[in-house]
Amino acid sequence: MRSWSAQNVPKLPGESIPLRLYDTSARQVRQTDPGPTARMYVCGITPYDATHLGHANTYHAFDLVGRLWRDAGHEVHYTQNATDVDDPLLERAEQTGVAWQELAEREIELFRGDMEALRIMPPREYVGVTEVVGRVADLISRLSAKGVTYELDGDVYFNVADAPKFGQVSGYDEQEMLALFAERGGDPDRQGKRHPLDWLLWRAERPGEPAWDSPLGRGRPGWHIECTAIALDNLGAGYDVAGGGSDLIFPHHECGASEGHAATGEWPFAKFYTHAGMVALDGEKMSKSKGNLVFVSKMRREHDPMAIRLVLLAHHYRADWEYVPELIAEAERRLALWRSATGVAAGPPAEELLATVRERLADDLDSPSALTAIDAWAEQAVAGDGRDTAAPALVRDLTDALLGVTLT
């Protein structure tokens, strides 16, 4: 499927710093250590509703990861999926009387526009699940050949008893797993399963639901296996970062990691499992099911997309935070300050600022501290301190390359 457009990223002078990132599975911040090509997979949207600020927060966080790696001289191989066939999408299509394909296409197009406006770098492969059903079915057959699956009324399940590493990504105990599994699309109570946490790999055709022919019979893939198959096909096992929102830690990334392990023998399937925090509105996590959403498409009709990006940058990516309108007002003031400061003929020297911003971002993407450092430089520049005529352009380049914020 078509990805979206990339911008040119200015090359910055001086030395970059290796990126340290929080790894959920290690429960600590560790240094990333990619090869010449850094490989990242970030779980995409289920396109039944427009991009909300919580989505933007996630894709923005991993955009920073890519920017830091590029600054350090790596190529970035980034893959993302779109879950363009799944229960919530089919339900929404049914409720609104729109064909599910049409709904998916429309919302994916809106998502592309939102990502472009926020200057989030596009994935190299943007893959709709409906494009790769055959590949996903092949991977399920591979797992079946290894004896880790079983069939139940035509559906295929992963047998959790055959997943020796299960639990290592999330670190959750069984009680917590069971609660989250039920809450996030799992079916712990289905009769005939060997264990409540066994998860669905293939759903046999049901009347009125879309289905594809495959060696497993007619049906469609389960959610977790689609990402495992797309990551494996495009990036290979042992890739650098698997990313998503913190609501994907369990069961989605936990199950995906065990699928990848069973298929390839490689552990960990991704070197880092990294997760962005949740954005709340009116005291509750923003979610489609609760309907408390701030849509990026609506926000960008009223505000400069760069101010929206500054709202995201003002929060640490792992933090859970609540959106209030004061945040966009504050971001607009900051954007105006930065634009005035980089519009002057000369400012204070900015080499030290560049080193500080790199250092702050390399420390588990500490963007709030990076913003504070840029604010201090900008205030001096608008006060007329400094005679460095190259400094304003350098600051424009650094906000562009490292933060994705263009000031021109």
Residues binding Zn ion (CB under 5 A): 43, 227
Nearer residue to Zn ion within complex by CB, 108 or 327: 108
Least Å distance, CB 252 to Zn ion, is 5
Q: Is 403 buried (19+), middle (13-18) or exposed (0-12) by CB count in 10 A?
A: buried
Least Å distance, CB 254 to Zn ion, is 11
Integer CA distances (angstroms), 293 to 9, 290, 323, in order: 31, 8, 10
Cα separation, 88 vs 261, whole angstroms:
28
Q: Residue 348 belongs to what H/E stretch?
A: none
Least Å distance, CB 228 to Zn ion, is 8
Nearer residue to Zn ion within complex by CB, 42 or 311: 42
Cα separation, 56 vs 50, whole angstroms:
11
Least Å distance, CB 392 to Zn ion, is 41
**195: nearest Cα among 167, 217, 170, 230:** 167
Nearer residue to Zn ion within complex by CB, 241 or 331: 241
Cα separation, 127 vs 125, whole angstroms:
6
Q: Phi and psi of 309, rounded to 5°?
A: -65, -40
Cα separation, 402 vs 349, whole angstroms:
18
Half-sphere exposure of 1 (CA within 13 A, CB side): 23
Nearer residue to Zn ion within complex by CB, 130 or 399: 130
Nearer residue to Zn ion within complex by CB, 245 or 347: 245
DSSP-H helix ranges across 72-209: 87-96, 100-117, 133-145, 174-183
Nearer residue to Zn ion within complex by CB, 25 or 399: 25
Q: At what angle do helices 133-145 and 254-264 cross, to 10 degrees?
A: 70
Residue 382 CB coordination number (10 Å): 16
Nearer residue to Zn ion within complex by CB, 223 or 377: 223
Which pair of structure tokens corresponds to residue 97?
């009387």
Nearer residue to Zn ion within complex by CB, 126 or 377: 126
Least Å distance, CB 227 to Zn ion, is 3
CA quadruple 166, 172, 175, 177: dihedral sign:
negative
- Give all strands of the β-sheet with 239-245 in edge-to-edge order: 125-128, 75-82, 37-42, 239-245, 270-276
Nearer residue to Zn ion within complex by CB, 53 or 242: 242
Q: Phi and psi of 267, rounded to 5°?
A: -140, 130
Which pair of structure tokens corresponds to residue 18?
């290796």
